[in-house]
Amino acid sequence: MDAGTTLLGSTLACVGVLGAALVAYLGKRGENALTGYSSLTERLQAERDRLERQVAERDSRIAELASLHAADQTEIARLRLDVHRLGGPH
């Protein structure tokens, strides 16, 4: 082998190693970005689920309070009729 062939071989080997290093670096960056995106997605889904549970609990409580309000209004109407029937103020 002459010096020119050795130099060309060394240069090609160096370019190959640098290319492989670049691909590995970019691949790792992509992997890190994907991991970060997945983590963010999981956190957002957990937050959404927690908020959906809170809304369901709130809606249930509102329905319960609406039922109590309706019962109170019915009782008030009944008592007003009793007062009127007994000759109280109109």
Predicted local confidence at residue 51, as pLDDT: 96
What pLDDT, on a 0 to 100 scale, did the predictor assign at position 63?
97
Cα 7–chain centre separation? 57
In eight-state DSSP terms, residue 87 is T
pLDDT in tens, 31-42: 776 777 788 888
What does the block give as tokens for 77?
């109407």
Average pLDDT over residues 18-45: 77
Distance between CA atoms of 11 and 21, rounded to whole angstroms?
15
Residues written for the chain: 90
Q: Provide CB contacts within 8 A for 83, sequence distance 6+.
A: 89
Query: pTM, whole model, 2 decimals?
Result: 0.52
